[in-house]
Chains A and B, each alone.
Chain A
Amino acid sequence: MRLCKSLIAIFLALISNCLSAQDTLWIVRGEWTHIPDSVQAIRFNSSADWSGINATLSRASDESTSLVVVNTDSLSHTWKLHVDEEEEWAIEAFDTLTFEIPALPIGTYLFGLTDEIGHVLGASGQLQVGLGVEFPLFHWNLGDWSMQRMASANMGVPVAWEEPYVPEQFTINERTYPATVDDPEALVAMSLGDTCWISIANHGFMDHVFHFHGFHVTMVSSTHHPERVGWSKDTVPIRMGEGLVVQLVANQMGMYPVHNHNLIAVTNAGFYPGGMITQIHVMP
């Protein structure tokens, strides 16, 4: 019966795509093997096939569009697009829903599951609005992970939120350093004189702060600190739940690290170097 419902959901999603070219996301549960402690996780994938990396959505600015979400998980979840409208949507197990994405200004926004299991297991991605048009775009989805919380959530055991939060893994696009520099979306590779934008979303349970070696970046947009647009920074806080965009001008050649300056987050299970580190490569 579940298989049947799932097939129907996929069929409906395909029909929907054919009618309006809208994106579809699949909620999928699987084994996340990008970190040393392989764990069960939930992701938003761009197909029904499991991937440990959350998908990214892209939209033009100031246009409302639709999004189809297919839940292939055996649990019902709640879904939210983190914009001004704080509306949550329930999506039943093996069900398919179509959502309206409102017209939004240029920026990076977060979407994800908000129920405890879906949130802790990491189903969260970024919606890029009006990006990648003027300048090349890179993106960083930031995550911090407590293996204990994930194991509890996977087993359906309520998470002990009152206990101290001690995440062991810190990821960019669901990878830890050094795997981050193998990710063409996370490694910022540019030519001298070029300009790029970096779309950053903090999906974790804590604030993060990234330090750029070699460069200052200019704040293009921020969901939490719009008053900082135009600031030039080398150390950029990204609040829990924040989406922001920065502009980087490659004005000198070389290889430069970019990393979280909360130094617990540049470790893998406590061992340095790891976690939230990537690099900027500027070539002639």
Chain B
Amino acid sequence: MNQFRMCLMICAIGGASLCSGQMAPPQLFSGMEGYTFLPDGTAIPIWGYGWVADGYITLPGPLLEYTQDEFVQLNFTNPSPESHTIHLHGLDVDQANDGVPATSFFVVTGQEATYEFTADYPGTFLYHCHVTTTLHLTMGMYGMILVNRPDMTLFEGGPSYAENAPILFSDLAIETNVDAVQSFPFHDIRPDVFMVNGVSGNQLEQPDHIIDFEPGEPIALRLGSMAYSLMRLDFPSELNATCYMSDGRPLPEPFDVEEMDIFPGERFTVMIEPVEGWDGYIGCEFWNIPDQELDGEQSIHVRDKSLSVGEWSELIAPLGYPNPTRSSISWNGPASVSVFDVSGVLVFQGPLDQGQLHVNGWSTGMYTAIFPDGNRSRFSVIH
């Protein structure tokens, strides 16, 4: 009865989150055989970056975190069938490390390279492939870089914060991702999937995409865009949002922000200190730039931590790989599991069969598995 295909998106288990400030593992790789999943479970092909140690690519690529003044050696290997690079967007690296094929170097199939730079300035930056940029970027080859200060201030003499919340906007055109070879010409690309940290719609209601705040503890929203669209954000007044930085530099004068536009490639750091008990949304509009028409909307859920389910309070980036041939999911270690669908409804609770959860006959969609020790995993079932 193995009549359906199943894909997995395995979350970082045991809090091995790359969003949580841990030093970056040493080696990225590029891949061209990944998938991302729409809220209805549809699998969309992506290209992207992942950690060699994990062995799979993600959308967006892993968050890279460094400390100000750190000398960074970013190791990169390309086992994929095409050449790729890493452009360190906004870090003002020298020509050799700029990641532009014509002026720097390609990393061809089977080769490794090391990008070197000193993280002079704290702030929010991006990275992306600069080979046939139009195509490689829309296929998913991008991610965010944070340069932090050890004292948890935004910049020297700047305000302090309790937590980073990296938020990377992007979009894709399904037709392009499904058939990249036929994607040219590119001037008329019209995205139809609009994403926040690689997900959209009700996926943003999953616990790891909700920003839970502790009253009185400011959160630094690290906003960046790799979208084709112009982003227009709406910050409700209860967030007490103040913009302090743009493009990795302090602003001469911080300003309170209710509405903010973010163009492709721009970044802003906005501090929020929401009022106690608040539970609401940051509105995210995706505007087509040539037509100035609203193409899509998403909402980022922000809520008082006291209103959240405790064990779901951490921000965890979805990390995973697709596997379209299996009908069960395996974990090493846990003996039992509770599984929730995207609406938070418990759909399974019980022991695992020798570490395996059989999902034959399950509905298409994304699920969150919670283990007795509080660790979590996410997976998607597609037919």
Q: Which residues of A contact B (CB under 8 A)?
A: 144, 164-168, 205-207, 209, 211, 213-216, 227, 230-235, 237, 252-257, 261-264, 266-267, 269-273
Known: A206-B290, A267-B134. A233 touches B92 (CB 8 A): no
Q: Could you tell me if A264 and B95 are in contact, using CB atoms closer than 8 angstroms?
A: no
Residues of A within 8 A of B289 (CB): 206-207, 262
CA distance A98 to B92 in the complex (A): 47
Interface residue? B157 (CB, 8 A): no
Flag the segment in B11-19, B194-202, B203-211, B263-271 that touches A. B263-271
Residues of A within 8 A of B94 (CB): 214, 252, 254
Q: Could you tell me if B95 and A256 are in contact, using CB atoms closer than 8 angstroms?
A: yes
State the Cβ distance, B57 to closest chain A Cβ, in Å.
20
CA distance A70 to B89 in the complex (A): 46
Residue from B102, B103, B264, B266 in contact with A263 in the complex, judged by beta carbons closer than 8 Å = B264
Residues of B within 8 A of A234 (CB): 89-90, 92, 247-248
State the Cβ distance, B333 to closest chain A Cβ, in Å.
44
Residues of B within 8 A of A233 (CB): 246-247, 249, 266
CA distance A237 to B137 in the complex (A): 20
Known: A232-B249, A264-B228, A271-B185. A257 touches B100 (CB 8 A): yes
State the Cβ distance, B255 to closest chain A Cβ, in Å.
8
Q: Could you tell me if A237 and B263 are in contact, using CB atoms closer than 8 angstroms?
A: yes
Output the nearest chain A residue to B229 by Cβ-Cβ distance.
A262
Residues of A within 8 A of B93 (CB): 214
CA distance A209 to B92 in the complex (A): 17
State the Cβ distance, B192 to closest chain A Cβ, in Å.
14
State the Cβ distance, B187 to closest chain A Cβ, in Å.
4
CA distance A114 to B185 in the complex (A): 31
Q: Could you tell me if B264 and A261 are in contact, using CB atoms closer than 8 angstroms?
A: yes
CA distance A233 to B289 in the complex (A): 20
Residues of A within 8 A of B103 (CB): 254-257
Output the nearest chain B residue to A272 by Cβ-Cβ distance.
B134
Residues of B within 8 A of A230 (CB): 252
CA distance A253 to B92 in the complex (A): 12
Further 4 A-B residue pairs, CB within 8 A, beyond A254-B103, A264-B189, A271-B186: A237-B266, A256-B103, A261-B265, A270-B186
Q: Could you tell me if B292 and A206 are in contact, using CB atoms closer than 8 angstroms?
A: yes
Majority SS of interface residues in chain B?
Answer: loop
CA distance A253 to B184 in the complex (A): 35
Q: Which of B103, B132, B247 has the most CB of A within 10 A?
A: B247
CA distance A283 to B247 in the complex (A): 26
Q: Could you tell me if B185 and A267 are in contact, using CB atoms closer than 8 angstroms?
A: yes
Residue from B90, B248, B263 in contact with A262 in the complex, judged by beta carbons closer than 8 Å = B263
CA distance A235 to B93 in the complex (A): 15
Output the nearest chain B residue to A204 by Cβ-Cβ distance.
B290
The 7 A-B pairs at the shortest CB distance, nearest first, are namely: A270-B185, A254-B95, A261-B265, A209-B263, A270-B187, A232-B249, A235-B265
Q: Could you tell me if A263 and B291 are in contact, using CB atoms closer than 8 angstroms?
A: no
Q: Could you tell me if A267 and B187 are in contact, using CB atoms closer than 8 angstroms?
A: yes
Residue from B92, B134, B246, B252 in contact with A214 in the complex, judged by beta carbons closer than 8 Å = B92
Interface residue? B135 (CB, 8 A): yes
- B244-258 interface (Cβ within 8 A of A): 246-249, 251-252, 255
Residues of B within 8 A of A215 (CB): 92
Interface residue? B98 (CB, 8 A): yes
Q: Could you tell me if B263 and A235 are in contact, using CB atoms closer than 8 angstroms?
A: yes
Interface residue? B219 (CB, 8 A): no
Output the nearest chain B residue to A229 by Cβ-Cβ distance.
B252
State the Cβ distance, B250 to closest chain A Cβ, in Å.
8
CA distance A164 to B291 in the complex (A): 6
Residues of B within 8 A of A254 (CB): 94-96, 98, 103
Q: Could you tell me if A213 and B292 are in contact, using CB atoms closer than 8 angstroms?
A: no
CA distance A214 to B90 in the complex (A): 7
Mind listing 5 A-B residue pairs with CB under 8 Å?
A: A207-B230, A209-B264, A211-B89, A262-B264, A273-B133
Q: Could you tell me if B290 and A167 are in contact, using CB atoms closer than 8 angstroms?
A: yes
